[in-house]
Amino acid sequence: MDQNETSRSPAAEPVEERLADILTTREGPVASHLGNVLRQLGDLDRAIYTAIAETPTPDLDGPLRRLSELADNSRLWLGIAAGLAVVGGPAGRRAAARGMLSVGVTSAMVNIGVKSVYRRRRPDRAGAGVPEGRHVEMPSSRSFPSGHSASGFAFAGSVGQDLPALALPLRFLALAVAYSRVHTGVHYPGDAVIGSIIGAGISQAIAGLTENVVDAAWRRVPGARAGRGR
């Protein structure tokens, strides 16, 4: 298919543009207003992406690129979970189990569910002028939402429920990962924001749905009652 045809296809349009088109075809001032708001948010999203791409940050480029790569396939969160399981005692093992369960559910929902519905194309990194020193491998999956952001906030939220002292540091780390995906040019800011919200929401749902299951497994660990952290 010709590249111009691809760019005009509905699947290639930004998510907010598709939703705005749907709203503006409906009658009534509310729908029209919401359509205009979505278009303006889309313009802002792309403007922020371009501004980040054009701002020289040589001292940040390397660390953020490495952080982004470290979070590929949830390796960062898996490593932290392994550390908690080894040195964190029963409460650490409980938090690690809940955190990785949350990451697994979030990854499936984002990559199999949401990305297949909202098929937003990846940013034009070269056209925006993202410096090569920031580049990571451009994923072949759709852009919306950011799976890295979703997994990070899902893990941070779930672990923080069992180990409150880690809640804030892990959320800062998840935020850094989310931003790194924009800084390296593979996501728009809106992708990262919505991914973060999805991950945080799923961590809350996991807490409610799995409380009894995780509690039962955790109580079978020797010394769990004495080491309970909640």
Q: What is the pLDDT of residues 21-65, one digit of tens each?
A: 555 566 666 666 776 787 888 899 999 999 999 999 999 999 999
* Maximum pairwise Cα distance, the chain: 65
Asked if the structure places residue 140 within a domain, the reply is yes
84 within domain boundaries? yes
Classify residue 23: in a domain, yes or no: no
Question: What's the number of domains the chain is made of?
Answer: 1
pLDDT tens across 192-202, in order? 999 999 999 99
Beta strands in the chain (DSSP E): none
Gap between the Cα atoms of 199 and 146, Å rounded: 10
The pLDDT value given to residue 156? 97
pLDDT of amino acid 118: 81
What is the domain-level CATH number for residue 213?
Answer: 1.20.144.10
CA nearest 207: which of 92, 98, 107? Answer: 98
> Would residue 201 count as lying in a domain?
yes
Range of the domain at 128: 58-219
Q: Is residue 78 part of a domain?
A: yes
User: Is residue 230 one of the residues assigned to a domain?
Assistant: no
Q: At which residue do the structure tokens 């039962």 appear? A: 216
DSSP assignments along 168-213, one per residue = HHHHHHHHHHHHHHHHTTSS-HHHHHHHHHHHHHHHHHHHHHHHHH
Q: Is 7 contained in some domain?
A: no
> Sorting pLDDT into bands at 50, 70 and 90, what band is 119?
confident
pLDDT at 91 over 60: yes
How many residues belong to the chain? 230
Domain-embedded: residue 26:
no
pLDDT attached to residue 218: 56
